[in-house]
């Protein structure tokens, strides 16, 4: 890490502590909309500091390298509101990166510009309830070109951030007969006010329907018509663009998870040091608690170094060149997050289960870390197949 990155991370951590964490109590009790006015004020301060959109290239963002933003993402991950304050929340940041890289000048003006300015939000529709999300080339949402319009029909769910979004980037099959299954799908930009696009419901996750960008929707597209020029990138390159997006995205997620784990670790240590089991006998004086703390510290440190190493490889070799490293960190860090969270709740006892602390929020919302962007089992298979290939064994799916 460069001295500049270290200084920036330190400054951002102080900002998160001073400006964002004070909003959490209201957020945990009353939801996102209750803190939105305060968050908008925080966003103005982020812009004034020159920290807006750290990973996006100029003119929209700071243009930090993947490794530098990975370190920053850890600090923002300390709060559920951190990434939103810097306009780097999913799925918006991924959509912005794709638009910046593959969008036409007209698409950038209409969709990227207001999204980067924080004036609108977006969503991303890929997963379908009828087909496994771990097989992204298998889907039934289709787009047929009729004259100068794409006619889209299909069914999506876990469409992140759909509620209140201005547009959705939809993965759909445009070339069903192409011999290469990875060249059958395209990505098409669909404004959410387009006739035929229906929000069926918000999916309740772990007892919560979610709000705004923190929600996931089931949607249907029935004879949805959008202009031909709404095709994002080249026809048949939808899967390739998705993979290009998911590689760095997994770096972002993993460092966010480490930020959550680090904060939970600090809360666990603080509580163990002050909570007394009996007069003069703090919780942390017990060996069982000490071992939980030691294991958490070791795992977080290992995870952080693994992710930064993977980020460096992505920068040097591209996402495909670092495919195995990305798969390793995806399931390893998700597991570390789950274990650290569980230990922190255990140490806090009944307080950890309550919504007085963010631990229960993290526990509910981050269990999905082992599922989205590729389930643990899928990534473990990628790693094992690559290892066995070095010993002459080709394993097919």
Q: What is the pLDDT of residues 85-137, one digit of tens each?
A: 999 999 999 999 999 999 999 999 999 999 999 999 999 999 999 998 777 78
* Residue 397: band (very low, low, confident or very high) from pLDDT cuts 50, 70, 90: low
Distances (CA, A) of 12 to 50, 58, 114: 11, 20, 25
pLDDT of residue 138: 87
Local structure of 212: helix, strand or coil: helix
Task: Report the 10 Å Cβ neighbour count for 178.
Answer: 13
Q: Note whether 122-232 and 239-389 share their fold.
A: no
pLDDT of residue 73: 95
For the structural domain made of 239-389, what CATH number should be given?
1.20.140.10
Q: Give the tens place of pLDDT for each residue, 213-229.
A: 899 999 999 999 999 99
CA atoms 185, 187, 188, 190: torsion sign: positive
Task: Report the 10 Å Cβ neighbour count for 114.
Answer: 15
d(CA 63, CA 45) in angstroms, rounded, equals 19
Q: Give the tens place of pLDDT for each residue, 152-168.
A: 999 999 999 999 999 99
d(CA 192, CA 186) in angstroms, rounded, equals 18
pTM of the model: 0.93
The answer for residues whose C-beta is within 8 angstroms of residue 307's C-beta and 6 or more apart is 70, 251, 254, 255, 258, 329, 333
Domain boundaries, the chain: 3-103, 122-232, 239-389
Distances (CA, A) of 129 to 86, 160, 171, 200, 377: 32, 14, 14, 13, 19
Region 172-179: what's the mean pLDDT? 96
Region 17-32: what's the mean pLDDT? 96
pLDDT of residue 187: 98
Q: Give the tens place of pLDDT for each residue, 240-258.
A: 999 888 888 899 999 999 9
pLDDT of residue 135: 79
Q: How much is the mean pLDDT over the chain? A: 95
For 3-103, give the CATH class: mainly alpha
Q: Give the tens place of pLDDT for each residue, 368-378.
A: 999 998 899 99
Local structure of 91: helix, strand or coil: coil
- The second-level CATH assignment, the architecture, of 122-232 is Beta Barrel (2.40)
């Amino acid at each position: 890490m460069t001295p500049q990155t270290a200084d920036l991370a330190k400054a951002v951590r102080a900002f998160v502590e001073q400006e964002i964490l004070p909003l959490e109590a209201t957020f945990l009790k009353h939801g996102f909309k209750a803190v939105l006015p305060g968050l908008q004020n925080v966003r103005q301060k982020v812009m004034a500091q020159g920290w807006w959109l750290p990973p996006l290239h100029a003119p929209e963002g700071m243009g930090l390298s993947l490794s530098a933003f990975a370190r920053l993402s850890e600090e923002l991950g300390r709060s559920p509101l951190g990434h939103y304050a810097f306009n780097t929340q999913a799925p918006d940041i991924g959509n912005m990166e794709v638009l910046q890289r593959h969008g036409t000048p007209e698409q950038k003006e209409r969709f990227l510009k207001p999204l980067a300015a924080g004036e609108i939000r977006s969503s991303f529709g890929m997963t379908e309830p009828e087909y496994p999300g771990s097989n992204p080339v298998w889907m039934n949402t289709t787009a047929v070109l009729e004259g100068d319009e794409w006619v889209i029909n299909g069914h999506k769910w876990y469409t992140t951030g759909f509620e209140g979004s201005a547009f959705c980037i939809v993965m759909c099959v445009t070339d069903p007969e192409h011999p290469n299954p990875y060249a059958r799908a395209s990505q098409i930009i669909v404004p959410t006010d387009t006739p035929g696009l229906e929000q069926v419901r918000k999916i309740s996750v772990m007892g919560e329907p979610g709000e705004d960008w923190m929600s996931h929707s089931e949607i249907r597209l029935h004879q949805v018509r959008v202009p031909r020029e709404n095709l994002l990138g080249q026809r048949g390159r939808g899967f390739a663009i998705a993979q290009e997006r998911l590689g760095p995205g997994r770096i972002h997620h993993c460092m966010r998870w480490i930020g959550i784990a680090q904060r939970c670790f600090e809360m666990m240590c603080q509580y163990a040091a002050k909570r007394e089991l009996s007069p003069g006998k703090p919780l942390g004086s017990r060996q069982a608690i000490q071992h939980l703390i030691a294991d958490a510290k070791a795992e977080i440190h290992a995870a952080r170094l693994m992710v930064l190493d993977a980020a460096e490889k992505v920068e040097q070799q591209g996402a495909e060149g670092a495919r195995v490293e990305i798969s390793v960190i995806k399931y390893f860090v998700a597991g570390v997050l789950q274990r650290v969270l569980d230990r922190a709740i255990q140490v806090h006892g009944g307080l950890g289960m309550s919504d007085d602390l963010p631990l229960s929020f993290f526990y509910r919302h981050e269990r999905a870390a082992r599922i989205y962007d590729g389930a643990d089992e899928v990534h473990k298979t990628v790693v094992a197949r690559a290892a066995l290939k070095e010993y002459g064994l080709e394993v097919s799916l």
